[in-house]
Amino acid sequence: MADPATAVASPRSAPRRRRMVRDLKAMPGFTAMAWITIVALYLPIMVLVAFSFNENRSVVLWTGFSLDWYAKALENDGIRNAAWVSVKVALFATVISTIVATMAALATTRTRKFTGQGLVYGIINQPLMIPEIVTAIATLSLFALVKKLTGLNGIGYLMMAHAAFCIPFAYMPIRARLETMTLTLEQAAADLYAPPFKVFTLVTLPLLGPGIVSGAMLAFVVSLDDVIITLLIAGPGETTLPIYILGAIRRGITPEINAVSTILVAVSVLLVMLLFFVQRRMQR
Amino acid sequence: MTGPEVVTQRKAAVSVRGLTKTFGEGEYAVTALDAVEVDIRENEFFTLLGPSGCGKTTLLRLIAGFELPTHGVIALEGRDISALPPHRRPINTVFQSYALFPHMTVAENIGFGLRMLGKPAAEIRQTTERMLALVQLEAMAGRRTDQLSGGQQQRVALARALAPAPKVLLLDEPLAALDLKLRKNMQLELKSLQAETGITFVFVTHDQEEALTMSDRIAVMKSGRILQIGSPRDIYDRPTHRFVADFIGDINILDGTIESLDNGIASVRLKDGTAVLAQPGTATAARPGAASIAIRPENVRLAQAGETPTVSGTVENVVYFGAATNLHIRLATGEQMVIRNPGAVEEGRYRPGATIGAVLPPELIRVLE
């Protein structure tokens, strides 16, 4: 006998999937669960953003709308310096980690399968698996040793640390892109007399482009938002924006911090949206 | 062997000697090609035909250079190219998936090979235009490849592979993704393109009709080996192996025993004791002992009044399909036989249950390996 549900719903099989989705939505508590999730995720940010426009000095008592705190934040030298450090470190980390991640992704997808390949994935993704505080302390100890041996100081240490932990974030989208790219296109290029280097520059790299851009943007955002490693590694005059915010909170929360945080959120959201846009385009 | 050599001996474009390819290692090793020997002549349309997994695509990929042989040699015009990487072989490929570069225009795709060969810009432009005209895509030169239909992409792939004027063009089931009508058109187009350009085509397909229509010669493959190489007529009229006979067209196969061999003609006793004369295709097929004989349905004739039938049987089914009628009969041996167009068939002349006699002309019966 034919499945009665199918027979009643439609003689075609196409709507089957749609019906399943509808069924899930009809389950008790679905709507409540969705709202709880949305509120838990976004209510804090909404409160933060709202009070960044507060006229009053309080972050709990709304009195009226104003942009004063933004003006104040943008005039604050501490914030401006911190923002500049953040951008410098993030740019450096993005460039280095994206190059390394691209090479790693090529090595793990465009070579013959080798023993210990799983181990290599593990090694590349180390920063995702080890607690960040452990990585931070380990990096700190190493850098202390290097500083003692070489006598070198400066922001380079912070940049290197960021570049290192950004690698897996840059690596993931690049590898994903490479895995969806069939080898056939590269073989076609080789078949049409392109030597290996030309195959790479004329076919692999242009096709990999969207993956590299996503990887770079992800690395940038991750570097921009980092606290723990930065907190331990950053020397004097190397305060990044998140560290500045952390310090300012200790002195008491003002809507100025809300304003800076809102800007940081806006930049991150903008970059993530751009990332989705790029990924949508590459799925064409 | 498979009849007199009609074509005058031409130089081999591709010579394959003792070619073996295994994938994997140890107990997981799979032999994709097993000591394959073949000479593909200059300017011929050569087809590798076989079911999926028979090794035809592997052989093509080895000739292209995408895989390296485990053993054996591949020579191009007498020169060993076995160790050369793909970009150093004057051989181009039309891929089953077309593999057009999505980030380049149609014209850029077609000009890619010439560009890599370092040809001057003017020559690249000229050849590209000529190729676009050849495949009738002049209007599409500036388009992106994803804006083209399947048939148009197919033509771009073809033009791209032909543009550098390769010594040999490899085609890996290039028509598989096209619908039937387009496919028929492209078959004829490919054939005339081959004649026009004079380039040696090596064509891979699992479609026997396509192979018969287009090829100068066909190699039928099974399990990594070539069973028979010959013209479409050789393959169809004079199959040497049971697999070849079965794979191409419809055929009646009867089991029997070779009793004697006289002047290359075998006397075969069928299971019901009937003796028939048949032509062994190979020395192995001619060995005394158990053997299979084969005859095409259209070569079987009904016995006339007063004529002694070779075999007789009972009509089981009459299948009419417009241009032809098939008569399915059950022989005294218990085996089934199909007779196509048994003379003028008026409606209702042969009814199931009727006993009829059939004549099998000895020169059209093959003994199979």
- The reported pLDDT for the residue numbered A143 is 92
* Residues in B touching A188 (Cβ below 8 Å): 93, 95, 99-101
Higher-pLDDT residue of B95, A4: B95
State yes or no: pLDDT of A63 exceeds 90: no
Please answer yes or no on whether B95 and A188 come within 8 Å at the CB atom: yes
What single-letter amino acid sits at A92? Answer: F
pLDDT score, position B290 = 87
pLDDT at A7 over 60: no
Instruction: Look at residue B107 in the predicted model and tell me its pLDDT.
Output: 95
**Which chain A residues contact residue B91 at CB under 8 A?**
191
> Could you tell me the pLDDT band of residue A51, with boundaries at 50, 70 and 90?
confident
- B265: pLDDT strictly greater than 80: yes
Q: Could you give the CA distance from residue B17 to residue B36 in angstroms, rounded to a whole number?
A: 6
- The amino acid sitting at A131 is P
- 3-state SS of B88-120 is HCCEEEECCCCCCCCCCEHHHHHHHHHHHCCCC
Q: pLDDT at position B162, please?
A: 93
Out of A182, A191, A206, the one facing B92 most closely (by C-beta) is A191
pLDDT at B196 over 80: yes
Q: Do A191 and B93 touch (CB under 8 A)?
A: yes
- Domains of chain B, earliest start first: 12-237 (3.40.50.300), 250-368 (2.40.50.140)
More confident residue, A236 or A82: A82
Q: Over the stretch B310-336, which tens digit does the pLDDT of each residue have?
A: 888 899 988 887 788 888 999 988 899
pLDDT at B229: 95
Helix (H) / strand (E) containing A132: helix A132-150
**Mean of all residue pLDDT scores within chain B:** 88
pLDDT at B80 over 50: yes
- Asked: is A68-282 a CATH 1.10.3720.10 domain? The reply is yes
Flag whether pLDDT at A16 surpasses 70. no
Given a cut of 90, is residue A154 above it in pLDDT?
no
pLDDT of residue B347: 63
Q: What is the Cα–Cα distance from B47 to B42, expressed in whole angstroms?
A: 13
Domains of chain A: which residue ranges?
4-52, 68-282
Q: Grade residue B244 by pLDDT with cuts at 50, 70 and 90.
A: very high
Is A207 in the B-facing interface, judged by CB distances under 8 Å? yes
Contacts of B287 (CB under 8 A, 6+ apart): B258
Q: Is B113 close to A192, i.e. CB distance below 8 A?
A: yes
- List CB contacts of B289: < 8 A, sequence separation 6 or more: B257, B258
pLDDT bin (cut points 50, 70, 90) of residue B342 is: low
Which of the four pLDDT bands, split at 50, 70 and 90, describes residue A14? Answer: very low
